[in-house]
Amino acid sequence: MEPLALMLIVSGLLALGSLALGVVVHLIGLGRIAPSAVLGLPGNGLRADASTYRATHRAATPLTWLATSVAAVAAIGALIAGLQEGLAEWAVLAVLSAIVLVVGLTLATWRAHTAR
């Protein structure tokens, strides 16, 4: 696979995946998604019952939106930088996007656990 195609795929998946995570946590917080072992923030205590599942995800929603939106913007920046400048600039922004996503979701999960 050509490096440009790989950059496009990875940047697109990072951007769309980031936004999808934000939407899912938000919908769980609104009660539109039932408790599930597959969807939502990690932790068995967050899935004790439907109201706990909803309340903990609602508490984590602001941090989740912050992290996922910044990660998505960095991923889109990586895509643009990759198309214009090259592989090194793309890699810096793609790694930044992934780090922001991991750290932000870790903080959001911590917030959800403290809201129990």
pLDDT higher than 90, residue 12: yes
Look at residues 95, 90, 67 and name the one whose alpha carbon lies nearest to residue 79: 90
Answer left, alpha or beta for residue 31, where phi above 0 means left and psi between -120 and 50 means alpha: left
User: Which single residue is written with the structure tokens 């696979």?
Assistant: 1
Is residue 50 a contact partner of residue 73, using CB atoms and an 8 Å limit?
no
The model's pTM is 0.90
pLDDT of residue 94: 94
Q: How far apart are CA 8 and CA 83, in angstroms?
A: 8
pLDDT in tens, 53-86: 999 999 999 999 999 999 999 999 999 998 887 7
Region 19-31: mean pLDDT is 96
Rounded to an integer, what is the distance from CA 94 to the centroid of its chain?
Answer: 13
